[in-house]
Amino acid sequence: MEKHYAVIGDPIEHSLSPWMHNAGYSASGVDAEYHRFCVKPSQLAEAVEGLCALGYSGWNVTIPHKEHIIPLLDILTPEARRAGAVNTVKIQEGKRIGHNTDGAGFVRSVEGDLQGFKGKNAVLLGAGGASKGIALALAERGMKVHILNRTLEKAEELVQAVERAGGTATSGEFASGDWLTEVDLLVQTTSVGLHDEPYPFSLEGISSGTLVVDIIVTPRETAFLKDAKKQGCRTQDGLDMLLYQGVLAWEFWLGGQAPVEEMRQALKKQLFQRMFYEG
C-alpha cells in the first residue's frame, strides 16, 4: 500500500469510517488503506508520534481527542482554529496540519435541500461539540442561529463563539415554544435518541416548510424525526453529515473529488449489516 490513513478515538469499534474510506479508495483506484485505532486519552501523544513514525499520510480524530490533539500539531486551518477542534490531520512535508470538516460536512449535507443560507433561520438543539461546528458553519454562510440547550450557560458560550467569528446567534431554553413557527432549518444535535428514548418535547406547530435534521446516525429514524415527519416536515438523518465530513477529509488528503455515491453505499451497507447482525 502506498498510503495509510486511520481514525483514532475511544471508543472506536462503532466507527464506520474505514468502510466509507476504503470503498472510496477502491472506487477511485487510490492505492491506500484506512484503519481504526482505539487510543486512550493518556496515550494520545504517543499515538500521534507512532502514526507519524509509521508513515501515515493522515488520520481522522474523534471523541475524546478533537480538542486535546491541537497542541500536538504544527499548523491549524482556519476551519479548525474557528471550531477549536480538529477532526482531520494531514501530514505534509513533515508538518502535522489540523483541519475540521464537521461543520462544512453538515453544510454540504443540507445545501441541496435548503437552497441558500443567507438571512434564513436555523435552530440548533444542543450546544456540544457537534453543535459548535454546525453553528459556526451556518453562521459563516449568513444564517441566523438560535441555540437551545439543557444547560443554558453552554448555549450562551456558543453564542459568544459565533459572535466572535462575525456571525449572528441567540440562545434560549430547551423546550417547545413560539420559535417553532419561523424556522427554515431545525437540527437536533443532542445525544437524546441514541438509545431510542423519546424526545422531551413536541414539535406540534412547526411549519411544514422546515427541514428537520437529527444528526444521530443510529437509529436511522429517531423519535424526534418521526415526530417531524408527522408534522409534515422534510427530514434528514445523520448519515449524510457523516458522509460529507468524510468526503471533505478525503478531498483534503488526496485532492480532486471523492466518489460520494460509492462512499454513501458503503456506509449504508455497513449500517444495514450491523442492524441485521446486532438486532
Ligand X SMILES: NC(=O)c1ccc[n+]([C@@H]2O[C@H](COP(=O)([O-])OP(=O)(O)OC[C@H]3O[C@@H](n4cnc5c(N)ncnc54)[C@H](OP(=O)(O)O)[C@@H]3O)[C@@H](O)[C@H]2O)c1
Q: 231-236: which pairs have CB atoms within 8 A and are 24 or more residues apart?
A: 231/203, 231/204, 231/206, 232/208, 233/186, 233/203, 233/206, 233/207, 233/208, 233/209, 234/113, 234/210, 235/211, 236/109, 236/110, 236/113, 236/211, 236/212
From 40, 66, 120, 132, the catalytic residue: 66
- For ligand X, the closer of residues 84 and 128 by Cβ is 128
Cβ–Cβ < 8 Å for 92, 98:
no
State the nearest-atom distance from the C-beta of 119 to ligand X, in Å.
Answer: 26
Q: Is residue 226 flagged as an active site residue? A: no
> Using CB atoms, what's the residue nearest to ligand X?
128
Q: Which stretch binds ligand X (CB under 6 A): 3-11, 34-42, 121-129, 224-232?
A: 121-129
Cell of 105: 460536512
Using the rule CB under 6 A, which residue among 60, 101, 149, 236 binds ligand X? 149
State the nearest-atom distance from the C-beta of 112 to ligand X, in Å.
Answer: 17
Q: Which amino acid is at 128?
A: G
Say how many residues touch ligand X, by CB under 6 A.
23
Q: Which stretch binds ligand X (CB under 6 A): 126-134, 136-144, 176-184, 250-258?
A: 126-134
Is residue 131 a contact point for ligand X (CB under 6 A)? yes
Using the rule CB under 6 A, which residue among 190, 210, 222, 235 binds ligand X? 190
Q: Are strands 95-99 and 168-173 parallel, antiparallel or unpaired?
A: unpaired
Active site members:
66
